């Protein structure tokens, strides 16, 4: 079991192991945080791993409830949050309850926000089961929900007490979902670590790559927990990416949309003479070589994409802001900290390269 320590105001460990539940005792850990435990699980994950997890808690004689929900972007919502909270209230869960989020990024975002607000905040543990949640969503404390007006617009910063990531659970994850995690790993390399990018181009060992990505994300959030400064570089590809997710009505998965966002925002960097064409082509190639689409499959209207950009939560004065890059491993310091406001024409060129 590998351990990474995230040092923040409230620090916590990330444990990374292989076989599900081996090498650690989650039940004991949670038992120290509360008198009872509520596991809120993605229903597909609960079907595969729920019983084994509950047995683990049973062995330690910890009172545990398992609540399920269907994990999709439409259910990362205030309605499902309320439903789950009502179930917890009806079960008599008080402030001495520990919540376990068991699933991918949809689950950690939703359950993290429940934990942040239930009885004004109760202890929470993450058990990520997708590659994306292991390397990204479970680190750094961003929780949130989608609204009709845009993605992740309601939420809170709330840190877990620990993260337990078992790489073995990825064996049941569909191949396409692995790609979604890979996209965030490629993003980590582009914004932070040129050597890691070269390694990813050569297909390095998955466990090693997971560790590297977790360390990159941890290093960035440790310097800027509340997203005021350098943490914004993690939004590379996400300004366009979130708009595409929304316009596609979540037909495009988060990873697919972010990959397209990275290509668009790299192209914008090239058009602004910050990035060479050769590096832009190298970035496009790493996605193509991993069978990750570099073009929008459907003709989403440029007007609607730009309308969605106006609701991005990074906007200042109603102008969308973009993280731009100068090279692999080098982010551009823009006209608004680590982000830049660009002309309409540059945004159009970024969108058009995807068509
Ligand atoms: N908070 C953050 O810092 C942060 C960072 C990146 C992404 N996110 C959010 O994460 C979300 C995307 O998360 P995701 O890509 O993990 O998607 P997800 O949670 O929807 O999971 C993907 C799919 O895999 C299934 N699944 C999960 N684990 C499985 C397993 N081990 N075996 C079989 N099936 C499994 C799920 O049921 C789902 O159908 C987005 O909403 C995004 O906004 C948050």
pLDDT tens per residue across span 317-335: 778 999 999 999 999 998 7
Name the closest-CA residue to atom 19, ligand 1. Answer: 104
pLDDT(24) > 90: no
Long-range contacts of 349-352 (CB under 8 A, 24+ apart): 349/267, 349/268, 349/271, 350/240, 350/264, 350/265, 350/267, 350/268, 350/271, 351/240, 351/264, 351/302, 351/305, 351/306, 352/302
Q: What is the pLDDT of residues 269-311, one digit of tens each?
A: 999 999 999 999 999 999 999 999 999 988 889 999 999 998 8
Pair of tokens at residue 11: 């620090």
pTM score of the predicted model: 0.95
**Ligand 1: nearest atom to the Cα of 131:** 16
245 lines ligand 1 (CB under 6 A): no
Long-range contacts of 312-319 (CB under 8 A, 24+ apart): 312/150, 312/239, 312/242, 312/243, 313/150, 313/152, 313/153, 314/232, 314/235, 314/239, 314/339, 316/341
Quick one: which H or E segment has residue 289?
helix 277-289
**Ligand 1: nearest atom to the Cα of 181:** 15
Going by pLDDT thresholds of 50, 70 and 90, the confidence category of residue 314 is: confident
Name the closest-CA residue to atom 5, ligand 1. Answer: 137
- 315 phi/psi in degrees, rounded to 5: -60, 145
pLDDT(150) > 90: no
257 lines ligand 1 (CB under 6 A): no
Alpha-carbon torsion 132, 133, 139, 141, what sign?
A: positive
130 lines ligand 1 (CB under 6 A): yes
Going by pLDDT thresholds of 50, 70 and 90, the confidence category of residue 228 is: confident
């Amino acid at each position: 079991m590998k351990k990474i320590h995230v040092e923040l105001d409230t620090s916590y460990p990330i444990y990374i192991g292989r076989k599900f539940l081996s090498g650690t005792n989650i039940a004991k850990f949670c038992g120290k945080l509360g008198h009872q435990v509520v596991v809120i699980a993605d229903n597909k994950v609960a079907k595969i791993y729920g019983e084994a997890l509950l047995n683990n808690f049973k062995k330690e004689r910890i009172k545990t409830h398992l609540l399920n929900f269907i994990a999709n972007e439409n259910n990362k919502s205030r309605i499902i949050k309320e439903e789950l909270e009502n179930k917890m209230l009806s079960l008599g869960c008080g402030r001495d309850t520990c919540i376990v989020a068991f699933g991918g990024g949809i689950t950690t975002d939703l359950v993290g926000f429940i934990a942040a607000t239930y009885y004004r905040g109760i202890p929470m543990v993450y058990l990520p089961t997708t590659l994306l949640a292991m390397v990204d969503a479970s680190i750094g404390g961003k929780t949130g929900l989608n609204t009709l007006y845009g993605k992740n617009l309601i939420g809170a910063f709330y840190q877990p007490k620990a993260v337990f990531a078992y790489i073995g659970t990825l064996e049941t994850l569909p191949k396409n979902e692995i790609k979604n995690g890979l996209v965030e790993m490629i993003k980590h390399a582009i914004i932070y670590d040129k050597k890691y990018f070269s390694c990813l181009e050569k297909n390095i060992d998955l466990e090693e790559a997971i560790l590297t990505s977790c360390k990159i994300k941890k290093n960035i959030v440790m310097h800027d927990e509340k997203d005021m400064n350098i943490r914004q570089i993690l939004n590379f590809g996400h300004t366009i990416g979130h708009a595409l997710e929304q316009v596609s009505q979540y037909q495009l998965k988060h990873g697919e949309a972010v990959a397209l966002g990275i290509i668009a925002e790299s192209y914008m960097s090239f058009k602004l003479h910050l990035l060479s064409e050769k590096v832009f082509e190298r970035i496009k190639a790493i996605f193509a070589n991993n069978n990750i689409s570099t073009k929008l499959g459907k003709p989403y209207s440029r007007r609607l994409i730009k309308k969605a950009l106006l609701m991005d939560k990074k906007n200042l004065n109603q102008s969308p802001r973009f993280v731009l890059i100068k090279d692999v491993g080098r982010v551009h310091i823009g006209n608004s900290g680590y982000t830049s406001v660009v002309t309409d024409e540059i945004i159009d060129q970024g969108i058009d390269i995807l068509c």
